[in-house]
Amino acid sequence: MPDPMSVASGVCAAGALLSSWQLRRRAVRAEAEIEHLQAELAAERHAASHDPLTGLPNRRAFYRLAAALLTNADGQPLIAIVLDLDDFKQINDRYGHAAGDQVLISVAERLAGFAGDNLVARLGGDEFAGLLASPTVDRRWIEHATRRLSETVAAPIRLTGCSVRVTASVGLAPVTGPAQLTDALSRADAAMYQAKSLSGPRAPRQLVDSALSGQNT
């Protein structure tokens, strides 16, 4: 006949093992729930600061990140850029909004590729912005860089069954500190709209901010 003490001891040991196993399961579930909540929070934060179509930072994030970059620029020249696609509405009207979305995604990818590690963002609609580190604010260098950006955007974009070309009007202005960001973007925006008024068959449109016009070429 089994020893009652041995039976009781075995039952206690089994109960302890079961309790330990249940605790481990609860701990694993709790860890999984925490990871899930953290992932959801990260996704919500990303969605709040990024454009859902292109994946670029949105307008609010651009201003926040640009201010931080300007604060830590250590005197390095930075150029504010505003880019707006020309006659973008015609893409939507002729090819549909899905094609228009693809054009915006392609332009965003090209802008990000052009900017490298620099900050670029979609401000809304077909308007993009950037804050680019520059070795100089020399007019010639800036015009060359702006022309390259315009030509990059103007390369053919493949859509379903066809390809399209879009041109961009570009405005830019040097910015020297966080307090100057809004003013620099306003000047770049004004230069961009002035560039949009220029005409020229298939010519990429760009205009250097008027603040640079007095510098040597």
Helix 88-95 × helix 97-115 angle, to 10°? 140
Residue that is written with structure tokens 């950006």 in the block = 149
Q: What is the pLDDT of residues 30-67, one digit of tens each?
A: 777 777 666 656 555 656 889 999 999 999 999 999 99
DSSP state of 50: B
Distance of alpha carbon 43 from alpha carbon 193, whole angstroms:
36
Q: In a 10 Å sphere around its CB, with 0-12 CB exposed, 13-18 middle and 19+ buried, how is residue 110 labelled?
A: middle
pLDDT on residue 216: 44
Q: What is the DSSP string of 196-214?
A: HT---TTPPEEEE-GGGTT
Distance of alpha carbon 181 from alpha carbon 120, whole angstroms:
14
> Can 126 be counted among the known catalytic residues?
yes
Distance of alpha carbon 36 from alpha carbon 10, whole angstroms:
39
Q: What is the DSSP string of 151-183?
A: HHHHS-EEETTEEE---EEEEEEEE-SGGGHHH
- Which of 84, 126, 189, 209 is flagged as catalytic? 126
pTM of the model: 0.74
Distance of alpha carbon 112 from alpha carbon 130, whole angstroms:
9
pLDDT on residue 4: 54
If one counts every other C-beta atom within 10 angstroms of the C-beta of residue 11, the result is 10
Higher-pLDDT residue of 105 and 215 is: 105
